């Protein structure tokens, strides 16, 4: 009997924190200041980021009710795919 086609196991999902840490670093390397960046997160990615126990406490902060990740403003919800927006 021929072997059945077995689908490859799904790749592990990249952690939200890692994905956007890399995106922020890349934008900074291209000369974009953190004040000109906004991280738009899906509700699921926002929850993942908030619950990531591997993150140092100083990487996430709240100022006047606004969340910041690595000093980049985070906007929660209103998107179907999370993305780093740069204005500059």
**pLDDT, position 78:** 95
Block residue for tokens 């953190």:
34
- What is d(CA 40, CA 20) in angstroms, rounded to the nearest whole number? 10
Q: Are 83 and 29 in contact, with CB atoms under 8 Å apart?
A: no
**pTM, whole model, 2 decimals?**
0.81
* Residue 41 in tokens: 């997160």
Residue 2 CB-half CA count within 13 A: 3
Angle between helices 16-29 and 43-51 (to 10 degrees): 100
Average pLDDT over the chain, rounded to an integer: 90
**Cα Rg for the chain, rounded, in angstroms?**
17
Query: Which segments of the chain have a pLDDT < 70?
Result: 1-6, 8-14, 88
**pLDDT, position 19:** 94
């Amino acid at each position: 009997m021929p072997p059945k086609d077995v689908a490859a196991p799904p790749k592990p999902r990249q952690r939200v924190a890692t994905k956007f840490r890399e995106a922020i670093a890349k934008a900074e390397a291209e000369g974009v200041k953190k004040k000109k960046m906004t991280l738009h997160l899906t509700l699921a990615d926002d929850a993942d980021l908030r619950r990531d126990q591997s993150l140092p406490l100083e990487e996430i902060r709240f100022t006047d009710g606004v969340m910041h990740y690595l000093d980049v403003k985070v906007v929660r919800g209103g998107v179907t795919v999370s993305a780093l927006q740069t204005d500059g």
